[in-house]
Amino acid sequence: MVYDFHLKFEGEIFMADAYMAKKEDKFSFGLWTVGNIGRDPFGDPTRKPIPPTRIVKNLSRLGAWGINLHDNDLVPIDATPKGRNQIVRDFKKALEDHDMVVPMATTNTFTHPVFRDGGFTSNDPKVRAYGLQKIMRSIDLGAELGAKIYVFWGGREGAECNVAKDPVEAIKRYRDGINYLCRYVRDQKYGMKFALEAKPNEPRADMYFPTTGHYLAFIETLDDPKMVGVNPEVAHEHMAGLNFHHGVAQALESGKLFHIDLNDQRFGRYDQDFRFGSEDYKSAFLLVKLLEEKKYRGPKHFDAHAFRTEDEKGVWHFAEGCMRTYNILKEKVRCFQKDPEIQGILAEIAGQNPEFEKHLGKYSRKKAQALKRIRFDIDGMAKKGLGFERLDQLLTELMLGIR
């Protein structure tokens, strides 16, 4: 690939070609993603923290559009009101200077030990009350920065000792918390929507609402379900052993895909939050194909971080890689849609037995009686192969770059 020109900063060369991120791609990163300092449960940090204003500048130079944050990614939990306001002023200036927006905000209700047994679902009403206070203040911060999507990831909402908490009571407490905050946002006229993010485990042994499907069911039990959607994350659904783009399809189909956390993850592992598309190219292709074909126009947030092995330059290559891979896969989707052999097979699949469509769809007594009279030759129907091997091989060859 001959690059039109190179983007040079931080002493590094970044690729500036047809796949480089542009603002209209609506790629976003959380402060905590490129700001990840490489600490893990078995090792100390390998990187120094990057100041939020520098994150804003460099992500913008790489073509990113938005920056997301937990309250304490920007404002220390013990900041004074004066200190908080100065930090917010400086951050707002950096956003303006570098043409970046804050599409989404969220609260850190998982780091401080006070949340060791959860926020919303804690057995201690004092902790639940503090959690509501912290989230309201964080929502205020998000609103001040222009965020229109507010994410809830219940990092500590779960259990190790399952007899210590009634799981039904835990669900009721979570619902009370979300209902309360929906009313708060309406009261404040912030015009925000909520996006609930599932994860099956880690840091808790088992987390409540472990998958996006659990949240889709939960949302319908809320006082104000229209205001609440989901924020599925690749890594979290993979941790649960699920097909990610199927879950996203269900969220899209029900109008509940309010946000999405893109990264990558090997099945059966802890939450790896790898660079988007770096592990499972085929799943990433299927996801990009779904989002592009269904015209998802929300933020594309990379909730991921660089390998612990990297220095800051590696962090920027990580960020560049997330966005480039999305755009490269978008190009692969275009090739798939234009490939005559692939499209020929798909047309054949779509065009089977059109005369039977009239028996499907909405019920009527007349249709049911007519359908019950039909004699189906099911052995004859099962004889012809479906040609999926050829189709899947064509996809493989397209992904491997020989089509």
| Backbone phi, psi, residue 151, to 5° | -95, 140
Two tokens, residue 52? 């939020």
Q: Indicate which single residue of 303, 316, 317, 321 sits in contact with Mn ion (rule: CB under 5 A).
A: 303
DSSP classification of residue 257: B
Binding site for ligand DIG (CB under 6 A): 30, 32, 106, 151, 153, 197, 233, 261, 303
Give residue for tokens 């006070």. Answer: 114
Stretch that binds Mn ion, among 1-9, 163-171, 226-234, 365-373 (CB under 5 A): 226-234
- In sequence order, which residues have a C-beta less than 8 Å from that of residue 37 and are 6 or more positions away? 45, 46, 47, 48, 49
Distance CA 242, CA 240 (A): 6
State the nearest-atom distance from the C-beta of 321 to ligand DIG, in Å.
19
Q: Please identify which of the residues 73, 117, 261, 273 carries the catalytic annotation.
A: 73
Asked about 73 being catalytic, the answer comes back as yes
Give CA separation, 3 vs 21, 29, 357, in Å: 14, 25, 50
Q: Which is closer to ligand DIG, CB of 20 or CB of 284?
A: 284
Stretch that binds Mn ion, among 35-43, 251-259, 267-275, 385-393 (CB under 5 A): 267-275
The β-bridge partners of 7 are 14
Distance CA 5, CA 15 (A): 8
- Residue closest to 303 by CA, chosen among 237, 246, 243, 254: 237
Q: Which does 264 bind (CB under 5 to 8 A by kind): ligand DIG, Mn ion, none?
A: none
Q: Which is closer to ligand DIG, CB of 151 or CB of 171?
A: 151
Total Cβ atoms within 10 A of residue 277: 24
State the nearest-atom distance from the C-beta of 290 to Mn ion, in Å.
19
Distance CA 91, CA 96 (A): 9
Asked about 238 being catalytic, the answer comes back as no
Residue 73 as a binder of Mn ion (CB under 5 A): the answer is: no
Q: Please identify which of the residues 6, 44, 70, 71 carries the catalytic annotation.
A: 70
- In sequence order, which residues have a C-beta less than 8 Å from that of residue 98 and are 6 or more positions away? 56, 57, 60, 61
Residue 233 as a binder of Mn ion (CB under 5 A): the answer is: yes
State the nearest-atom distance from the C-beta of 118 to ligand DIG, in Å.
14
Q: Which of residues 162-201 bind Mn ion (CB under 5 A)?
A: none
State the nearest-atom distance from the C-beta of 372 to ligand DIG, in Å.
50
Residue 271 as a binder of Mn ion (CB under 5 A): the answer is: yes
Q: How many residues bind Mn ion (CB under 5 A)?
A: 6
> Residues with catalytic annotation?
70, 73
Interacting residues with Mn ion (CB under 5 A) = 233, 235, 261, 271, 273, 303
